[in-house]
Structure formats: structure tokens, C-alpha cells
Structure 1
């Protein structure tokens, strides 16, 4: 059986029943499930104090289960970034661990990318939100479940989605996949935990952020030179914010239009990822290829992207020049 450990690196779990329910469902899917000793700990809004969560992170890395699935996001990993022994995290991946989560896990995933150019984690479901939901609240989404199982088996090689705005027929791009939650990612700018990816595919999502705040963060990335250096930007779900009378029709489409107006980098929408029930699994840190035909987009990668080769910026460019050399490898 595939070993799977549930752990809590950030926010406290509100209800223990959700973790137990997730563990039961994951076991029914064929995983050998263990719950970390501190997964249900609580200190203020956190799943234990910083030292306890850091110890848990290292404990799981040393044990190197097949899957390390976060119970939930919230907030807390930013506190740990300066203290994480990244070599232990990297070693666990090299030994076969697939780290999975999203939201606040964006900090961990991109902190790894900043230090280890050839390793990948997985942006995907969280135990409580996606496997611990009661049947009365909708239970487990089948697409999310099946995509997760396939990804954890090493068989998932691509995800498809319908690009919602159009105008990208024939687009092809290849590069390192990175990003995640927009707010968390922007908090890493200017720190040692920021991944300096050029020619990559940047994916972004967020929740409960008004469109003007989304626009402000997108423009922050553009003004910092990040967007222009990517092969493409893929936008997932940005929901949960209430409209206000001051908007006068302004919304997310306007925010995206403002970004597109100041960059030549293709900005696609419709990626099925974010704080929504139906979400795919994405090999964040792995090298991926994007193809668009009409409005149908496919994002593909090798079957096991954990040790994906990435061409480094600054290498001498020859016939095999890759996407991260800083040259424009996208074409439309």
C-alpha cells in the first residue's frame, strides 16, 4: 500500500472529525494512512507553536512517506521559512515523497523551488477541505479525488481545461510550473524564499480577495519584472469577494484586462484550481508543456516530475536551449 501521512504545517484544524473522516476515506482509496502526532495541536490560530510545526515538518521529511498531505492551509508556514532545513525536505522528495497541498502551502512549495531547481511538490487538495467534508456539505468531489489518486500513483501526465477568454489558439509554451496562491506568493517577493524563475509557467489563484486587490498584486508582479519574464500565466479561481457599490461594474475581468494591457506574456484563464471543490493536481516545480487548440488547453508533463530537469538561466545556450534561459520560448 502507498503510505500517506496527514500533517498540519499552518492553521489549526477546526474540527478533529474532519481529519478522521479524511483518513477513513483515503484508506478506502487504498492508502495506508497515518496522522502525525501534532496534526490536531492548537496554539492560538496555529496547529501548534512554531517549534512544534517545524519539528513535525522535519519529522515527516525524515520518515519520507509516499505522500505527505496537509490537513489545511490558513496561515503559518511563513513563520517557518527561515528555519526549515531544506536539505531534509529535498531528500524526502528524492526518496519518493510527494508533498501535497495548496493555499498557505504555496510558501513551502516556492521556498523549495528557490533552492532546488530540479525538484517538485504537488499543488493539490487538502485533507480537511477536500476529503473531510461531510456528505451533507457535498462530500468528496469525484474529479478532485480521481485526479489526486492518479497523481499520487505517478500516472497523471496531463490536465485539460477550457480557456475562458479565448484568443490563444495555437499557443505553445514550455517551462517550469510555479506559483500558487497569489497573496502568499507576493509575500515572498524580495525574500530568500522567492523563486527566480524565467521562462516559466506561472499559475495563480486566490479567495476572498476583492478584484482590485487581485489587480494590485498582479500589477506588483508585473512591475517587479516577474510577469514579463514568463512564458505564460495561468489564472485559476478568484472567488469569495463581495461586490461593493463603489465598483460600478468593475470586476475580475477588468483586473485581468489591466494586467494584459501592460504585458506581452499570454495570460490565460480557466485553470481548474483554487479554493473550489473541483481542483486538479499540478506538479509545482516541474517542467510542463502547454498547448492550446481553440479554447481547449492541455498542460502536460513527464509521468514523474519530482526530479524534472530545468535548464538554468546563465547556461550557454545551444540547440537544446530550454525555457528557463530567459529567452522567449513561447510562441503564439
Structure 2
């Protein structure tokens, strides 16, 4: 099924142009019509063009009528643009069928759109990193992306790691807590943890109660992950959620100074602080194997033993 995919660069400049072009050719070889924004390869300082250039690119993506608006890459840059984005124009495009897809810095735009219009976007791949490698794209990511293009995606599942217990209410001992549960009709939201923390106290972070918050990050040591979670905790955000789901936290190094403090330590600490369920192992983040997730959609989170499921297709 041929889809119109619009490629634009709202954040950092594309440095690896060979990977960019390889990704475009790969999508075209899949039978898709790929339209590349006129400023997709622009460069200004570390950004993909100055602020006005990137802002115009976002609005061109919204006006393109494409089936999918896919970021070229993440990095940094969207935070600067949030006050100038015409959110109603993006919401109108989404209502007409354009699915905005991305991750990392793109989280800022996703949260702002959700906060201002309630529009659903997709946490998923970026062009260059996920489609531009010398080897074929990851099979799971590709299958999830194809499901999105065909409108067939109904959910995602994963296997919970053995080492991390499920969270229980703080009044219940972990040893006696039920491990099977289901949370229905909860708003799925989140993305890159650093971006979420940076939006606290701004009008661009949605006020979600009873939601399912998923998080991921790259190059953030576990103590920095905990520090950002502490910010969300003290701001009252984590206490209002029904579940917090850890995606992939990658590309950091522990040191001798940590003395056993690691990401599992952060998970255990978080479980002691909130009543919400805390899960780990979600295949999403700065990794090749990633699922696509509807940010802002009502979903069901179900756990049976070590099998976890996020389901949304049956809600419609």
C-alpha cells in the first residue's frame, strides 16, 4: 500500500547525509511516495536551519497532506519553537489523516500538541537512524511501522525482565502483591524523559491524571534519570499516574563511585515512592528494536505473568 511520507527536520541538523539519502531510497523501494522538505538538510549552528526555517518546515509538513510526517532526526531544537507553532494547523492535519511520527526531541512537540489540542501523535522511528543504516531496518520496528501505514496496529507486547518485580501499592508487600492486572481506558503519554522534565511548569506539558506514562532516554546516567524522575515526582505528576513504564535507557557508563547504584536501583526507588504500577523493558527508545506508540490515545495496559501488553486498536 503506497503511502505519502513527508520528511522534515524540526530539530538538529542532519550530519550524515549519506544515511539520510539511503533511508529515503529505502522507503521509496518499499513503494512509498517520499517527499523531502526543502529545508530538510539545512544547517545553522547545531540546528537544521534557524528557528524560522524549522518552524516553516513543521507547518509545511502539516500542510503537505501526507499520510505520515516523519522527522529526519532528533537532537535538540524544538523547545525553542513551542510558542510559535500553529497547533491548530497541526491538529487539523491530524484530523485529516496525517500521522506525525518521531522520538527524542520530538517529545517536546508531542507534549505541546497534546496539551494544547489533545491530538494523538506517534512515538516511533526517525528517518536516518531507523531506516538509513547499511543493514536492513529492524524487523520489529519495520513491522510496527507497516502496521501504522496500513492502519492495522492494535497494540504492542513485550516480556518483562525477570530481575525487576512489578510495583505494588506501598501499603502492600511485594511478596503478596498480585502480578496480573489490567488498566483500562488510560491515556498513554510520555517519551524522552529529559524533554518531559524540561517542560515541567510550562503550558506545554499536558495535565494527565490516571494515565500511563512511558519514558526513555540516552546518555543519561541512572542518577540523572532519578533526578529527573524526582522532579516529576515533586511536581505531583508521577503520583497522578496509574502506571509508569520504563523503555530503554542506553549509552551511559557506570563508575566505581556508584557502588552498586544502577538503573534497577532507580526503578526500586520509584516503586517505593508511588502507588502506580512500575514496569520495565518496553522496547522503545534510542534502540533499533522499537514499537510505535499512540501518544495521547486511550489504551489498556495488561500484565499476565511476565507478558505485558499495551492495546489500543480494540478501543475504536
The alignment's TM-score, normalised by the length of structure 1, stands at 0.88
Give structure 1 stretches of 5+ with no counterpart.
309-332
Q: Which residue of 2 aligns with 1:249?
A: 260
Tell me how far apart the structure 2 counterparts of residues 187 and 274 of structure 1 sit (CA, whole Å).
Answer: 18
Assess if the C-alpha contact under 8 Å between 2:43 and 2:49 holds in 1: yes
- Displacement after TM superposition at 1:142 (Å): 1.1
Matched, 1:170 2:180: yes
Assess if the C-alpha contact under 8 Å between 1:11 and 1:74 holds in 2: yes
Q: Which residue of 2 aligns with 1:85?
A: 86
Tell me how far apart the structure 1 counterparts of residues 43 and 290 of structure 2 sit (CA, whole Å).
Answer: 28
Tell me how far apart the structure 2 counterparts of residues 271 and 278 of structure 1 sit (CA, whole Å).
Answer: 10
Assess if the C-alpha contact under 8 Å between 1:8 and 1:38 holds in 2: yes
- Displacement after TM superposition at 1:134 (Å): 1.6
CA deviation map 1:216-270 (0-9, x unaligned): 1111111111111011111101111111121011100111111111111111001
CA deviation map 1:155-212 (0-9, x unaligned): 0101001122243622211311100000011100000101000011100000100000
Number of residue equivalences: 301
Q: Which residue of 2 aligns with 1:30?
A: 31
Written as runs of structure 1 = structure 2, the 5 A alignment for 1:144-183 is 144-164=141-161, 165-167=164-166, 169-174=179-184, 175-183=186-194
CA deviation map 1:49-88 (0-9, x unaligned): 0000000101111122100010100000001000000000
Written as runs of structure 1 = structure 2, the 5 A alignment for 1:56-75 is 56-75=57-76
Q: Which residue of 2 aligns with 1:193?
A: 204
Tell me how far apart the structure 2 counterparts of residues 228 and 64 of structure 1 sit (CA, whole Å).
Answer: 39
CA deviation map 1:132-152 (0-9, x unaligned): 1123xxx41111111111112
- Displacement after TM superposition at 1:28 (Å): 2.0
- Displacement after TM superposition at 1:31 (Å): 1.4
Assess if the C-alpha contact under 8 Å between 2:6 and 2:64 holds in 1: no
Tell me how far apart the structure 1 counterparts of residues 302 and 207 of structure 2 sit (CA, whole Å).
Answer: 24
Tell me how far apart the structure 1 counterparts of residues 272 and 65 of structure 2 sit (CA, whole Å).
Answer: 45
Assess if the C-alpha contact under 8 Å between 2:101 and 2:123 holds in 1: yes
Q: Which residue of 2 aligns with 1:214?
A: 225
Q: Which residue of 2 aligns with 1:324?
A: none
Q: Which residue of 1 aligns with 2:13?
A: 12
Q: Which residue of 1 aligns with 2:282?
A: 271
Assess if the C-alpha contact under 8 Å between 2:103 and 2:126 holds in 1: yes
Give structure 2 stretches of 5+ with no counterpart.
167-177
Tell me how far apart the structure 2 counterparts of residues 285 and 21 of structure 1 sit (CA, whole Å).
Answer: 32
Tell me how far apart the structure 1 counterparts of residues 132 and 148 of structure 2 sit (CA, whole Å).
Answer: 19
Matched, 1:236 2:247: yes
Tell me how far apart the structure 1 counterparts of residues 262 and 250 of structure 2 sit (CA, whole Å).
Answer: 11
Q: Aligned to 2:248, what secondary structure does the other structure show?
A: strand
CA RMSD in angstroms, aligned pairs only: 1.3
Q: Aligned to 1:37, what secondary structure does the other structure show?
A: coil
